[in-house]
């Protein structure tokens, strides 16, 4: 099973990027082919054999990763599996690629694997990095309904069947959009605690666009993928949850503007999931109302 890796970078972490690439190069089994995409920035000197793409402007995370997918042919067709890894992460084990090969070979319905993320100094895995509601035990592997964008593996047949990440999202919720489309097409998603990416603990709100994109894309996600009757339910629940978390007024003001933008701007193609998929998500522990 041929494995490739897509690494997106802004060019501002050359040492961390090199360490990540070294950890990919050390993977057991057949060589993992790598493409590094410079998202609006020139790339530093990279190891021989690494494919490179330099984009003239920052297209955002999903569009940048889509460029990386296409660097392996239409829909990533030159390989069977693609790893997506943050440029400041580090594969902790040398058998991660082999574990991915074994998992995908053993289960033809498995489409996506979400890795565990842990801080390299403390070993802690944040609750938000466990893609399920019952996240208190990060060491428990399970079937899930979404995945982590910077630490995962995707069977390339998934992209060829349901398409890539939603370019216009730029940042936030693009993984769930792809996950819902994959689940609707019959694919399964696993969270694997033994597939580990070391990554420094950082608050997602460090990004200047965080509050706006999280709100806008949440609305787009629902409008694109949910049956019409569930759209106001899902978004109403998230609206109340956001208020319950008592964000600062400046943050809430930006969030509300993003929420409004999600309703008033085009969200892309609407392809509501089947009710069978709604039931499937519910049985997996995360009904699409939260």
> pLDDT at position 290, please?
87
pLDDT tens per residue, range 111-168? 999 999 999 999 999 999 999 999 999 999 999 999 999 999 999 999 999 999 999 9
CB 176 within 8 A of CB 132: no
Looking only at the bridges linking them, the beta strands covering 3-9 and 81-86 are parallel
Lowest-confidence pick of 29-33, 169-173, 233-237, 246-250:
246-250
Give pTM, 2 decimals. 0.96
3-state secondary structure of 64: helix
pLDDT tens per residue, range 5-39? 999 999 999 999 999 999 999 999 999 999 999 99
> pLDDT at position 207, please?
59
> pLDDT at position 187, please?
98
Q: Where are the alpha helices (DSSP H) in the chain?
A: 14-25, 61-70, 96-106, 156-162, 174-184, 210-225, 231-244, 249-264, 275-283
Pairwise CA distance, residues 79 & 183, whole Å: 21
pLDDT over 90 at 3, yes or no? yes
> pLDDT at position 208, please?
63
pLDDT tens per residue, range 279-290? 999 999 999 998
Describe the chain by its helix, strand, coil percentages, rounded to 5.
40, 20, 40
pLDDT over 70 at 219, yes or no? yes
Average pLDDT, the chain: 96
Please state the rounded mean pLDDT for residues 99-122: 98
Please state the rounded mean pLDDT for residues 220-229: 98
Count of other CB atoms within 10 angstroms of residue 198: 21
Pairwise CA distance, residues 48 & 32, whole Å: 13
Pairwise CA distance, residues 111 & 288, whole Å: 20
Give the HSE-up count for residue 235: Cα atoms under 13 Å, Cβ half-sphere: 25
Please state the rounded mean pLDDT for residues 239-257: 95
């Amino acid at each position: 099973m041929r494995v490739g890796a897509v690494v997106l970078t802004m060019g501002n972490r050359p040492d961390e990027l090199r360490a990540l690439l070294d950890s990919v190069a050390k993977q057991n089994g057949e060589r993992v082919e790598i493409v590094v995409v410079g998202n609006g920035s020139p790339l530093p000197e990279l190891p021989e054999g690494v494919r490179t793409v330099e984009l003239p402007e920052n297209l955002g995370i999903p569009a940048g990763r889509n460029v990386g997918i296409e660097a392996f042919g239409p829909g990533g067709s030159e390989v069977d599996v693609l790893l997506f890894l943050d440029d400041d992460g580090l594969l902790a084990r040398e058998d991660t690629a082999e574990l991915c090969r074994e998992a995908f070979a053993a289960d033809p319905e498995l489409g996506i694997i979400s890795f565990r993320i842990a801080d390299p100094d403390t070993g802690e895995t944040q609750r938000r990095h466990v893609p399920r509601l019952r996240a208190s035990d990060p060491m428990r592997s399970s079937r899930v309904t979404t995945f982590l964008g910077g630490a995962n593996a995707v069977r390339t047949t998934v992209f060829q069947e349901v398409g890539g990440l939603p370019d216009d999202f730029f940042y936030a919720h693009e993984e769930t959009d792809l996950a819902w489309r994959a689940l609707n097409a019959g694919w399964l998603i696993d969270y694997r605690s033994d597939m580990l990416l070391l990554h420094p603990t950082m608050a997602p709100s460090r990004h200047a666009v965080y509050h706006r994109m999280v709100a806008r894309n949440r609305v787009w996600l629902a409008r694109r993928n949910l049956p019409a009757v569930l759209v106001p339910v899902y978004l109403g629940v998230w609206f109340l949850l956001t208020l319950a978390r008592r964000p600062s007024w400046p943050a809430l003001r930006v969030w509300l503007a993003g929420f409004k933008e999600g309703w008033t701007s085009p969200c892309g193609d609407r392809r509501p999931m089947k009710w069978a998929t709604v039931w499937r998500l519910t049985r997996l522990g995360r009904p699409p109302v939260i």
